[in-house]
A and B are shown apart, each in its own frame.
Chain A
Amino acid sequence: MKTFVINKKRYIKNKHKDNLTAFLFLLPCLIGFVAFIVFPVVASLLLGFTEWNFLGGLKGIKFIGLDNFKTLLSGKDLWFNESFKNTLIFAAITVPVGLALGLIVATVMNKYVYCSGLFKVIVFIPYISSVVASVIVWQVMLQPSYGPINSILTSLGISNPPKWFVDPKWAMPTIIIFQIWQTLGYNVIVFMAGLKGISSELYEAASIDGASELRKFKDITIPLISPTTFFLSTMGIIGSFKVFDSISVATKGGPGNATSVVAFYIYREAFELYRMGTANAAAWIMFIIIFVVTMIQLRGQNKWVTYD
C-alpha cells in the first residue's frame, strides 16, 4: 500500500516533468509556428477586411468589412478576373495531362523496359533543377526568331512558328508545357511507388485468362492505382493554384495579362502596388478554394478510390 502511494506521487511528479521536457523539445518549433504561421494567418484574415496602403504606415489601416471580397468576387476587378480564369485553365490542363503522362511513363518504366533505374533518375532531373535556371534555358531555346526550337519548326516547313513566351496566344500554353515538363518526374516516381504495391498475381491471372496489356492497364492498373492518382491530383490542384515562380521569371504575367495567375496577382497587389487589403482578401479566396477542393476530393474519394 505504502509503495503504491509513493509510486503515485512519483507518477504525478513524472507527469509534470514529462510535460516540461516535451515543452522544451517543442519550444523552438512552437516559436516558429506562432511567428510564421499562426500570427500571419490571423493577421492576413483581418487585413482582408481593410483598405490599407502599406506605405501609409499602420495608422492608415481602414476597416471596410467585406468590400474587398465583394469587389473581387463581383468581377469588377478585371485584372483579378483574368488571373482567376488563367489559374483555372492552368490547373484544368496541367493536372490531368501531367497525371495521364505520369501514369503511362511509370507503367511502361515499371514493367516493359530495361535499365528503368537509370530512366527513373533521368526523368526526375527537371523536377530538382531550379525553376529560374530552367525558365531561362527555355526562354533562350524558344527565342522567337533564331532559337533552336523555331529553327527546327521552320525547317519542317512551318512558316510562322509561335513566338512562345512573348506571344499573347501562346504564352499560357508555353507555361503549361513548362510546368508539365518540370513536374512529370515527381508524378512518375510517386506512381511507380504506387504500382509496386499492386500484386503481380492479379496481372498473371489476367494473362492466363488471355487479357491484353491494354485491358490489364484499364481493368487492373487504373482502379488499383486510384489512391495514388487521388493523392497526386489533390497535390497537383493545390500546386497549380500556387504557381508563381515560373510565371514571375518567364513572363511577369504578360504579355498583357495573358499569364497572370492568382498568386501573381497577390504578389503584385501587395509588393508592387502596396494594396495590402485586396492582396490578403485574394489570398483568402485562394485558400478557401484550395480548402474546398481538398474537402470535395476527400469526400469523393470513397466513390472512385479503391483501397484493397
Chain B
Amino acid sequence: MKKSMYKKKIIKKLITTIVLGLFILTMLFPLLWMLSTSFKLEIDVFNFPIEWIPPKFTLNNYIKIWRGNYNFPLYYWNTIKVTVLVVLIQIVISSMAAYAFAKLDFKFKNLLFSIFLATMMIPDQVTLVPRFMLLTKMQLLNSHFGLILMLSFSVYGVFLLRQSMIALPDTIIEAAKIDGANHFIIFIRIVLPMTKSIIATLAILRFVWTWNDYQNPLIFLRDSKLFTLQLGMQQFASVSGTFYSLLMAASVCAIVPLLLVFIIGQNYVIEGIASGAVKG
C-alpha cells in the first residue's frame, strides 16, 4: 500500500516535471530558434516545418559579421570598454559610500541616507533632459567618458552594499582600531574582503544592466563610431537589410557574454535578486 503510494508520488512528480519542462522550453523557443538560425544559410531561414538542426550547417554568418564591412567588432569593443569601466568605477564609488553609511558616524547621516533612498523612486525620464544639458555644457555629450561618468553612479549600489556592511559586527572594526588601523585600512583589508560576495553580485548585475543599456547610449551618443552593441544592433539591422541569418548570428554574439557571466555567477545573481526583494 505504502509502496504504491510512493510510486504514485514519483509518477506525479515526473509528469509535472515534463509539463513544466515543456513550458520552459517554449519560453526558450525564441532563443533556441535564434541559435539554430545563426548557423543556417539565408535561403533556409524560413523553411517550414522548422528545422532545428540547420540542413546546411555554416559558420559563414559569424565570419561575415566579424570580418565583413560591418562595424560589429567596433560596437563590441565599445560595449566591453564602457561596461567594464562602469562596473569597476561603480564598485569603488558605491562601496566607499556604503562603508560611510554603514560604519561611520557623521552629521546628517540618517537624513542624507533617507534622501538617497527616496530618489530611487524617481524614474530615469525625469532626469533625462537636464542630464543631457549637463553633458552638453561639459562638452561630454557624444563621448564614452561622459556616458561612463553618468552610469558609474547609482543609489542602488550604495543601498545593496550598505545592507551587507551593516551586518558586519562592529567589534571587528573596534579591534582593528585598537591595533592601530585607520578607516582606509579597515575598509580595504577587512570590510571589502568580508563583503566580496555581495560585491560580486553587484558587479554581475551591473555588468548585465550596462551591457543591455539602450536608452542612455541612445540619448548620449550620436557618432556611430561610438555606438555600443545595443545601438549597433539596430544600425546593423538596417544596414544588413533582411539578412536574417546574419542578424541572428549578431544577436547570439550580443547575448553570449551575458549568458557566460550569468552561468558563472548564477548563485550570486539569484541570491542577490532574491534577498534584495524579500528583505526589501
Contacts and interface: CB of A to CB of B under 8 A. Distances in A.
A56 interface: no
Residue with the greatest number of chain A CB neighbours at <10 A, chosen from B20, B31, B263: B20
Contacts of A32: 93, 152-153
A263 B214 CA distance: 13
A55 to B, nearest CB: 12
A193 B126 contact: no
B169 interface: no
A120 B22 CA distance: 14
A41 B244 CA distance: 42
B125 to A, nearest CB: 4
A120 B183 CA distance: 41
A40 B134 contact: yes
A119 B24 contact: yes
Given A33-B116, A189-B270, A40 B121 contact: no
B21 interface: yes
A244 B50 CA distance: 32
Contacts of B34: 133, 137
A120 B50 CA distance: 27
Interface residues on A, range: 35 or more
A140 B248 contact: yes
Contacts, number: 277
Contacts of B13: 112-114
Interface stretch (B58-66, B192-200, B253-261): B253-261
Sort chain B's interface into a size bin: 35 or more
Given A29-B94, A132-B214, A294-B121, A249 B234 contact: yes
A17 to B, nearest CB: 9
A177 to B, nearest CB: 11
B218 interface: yes
B96 A25 contact: yes
A130 B30 CA distance: 13
Contact of B30 (A21, A109, A128, A141): A141
B273 A186 contact: yes
B237 to A, nearest CB: 6
A50 to B, nearest CB: 11
A286 B124 CA distance: 11
A109 B244 CA distance: 35
A92 interface: no
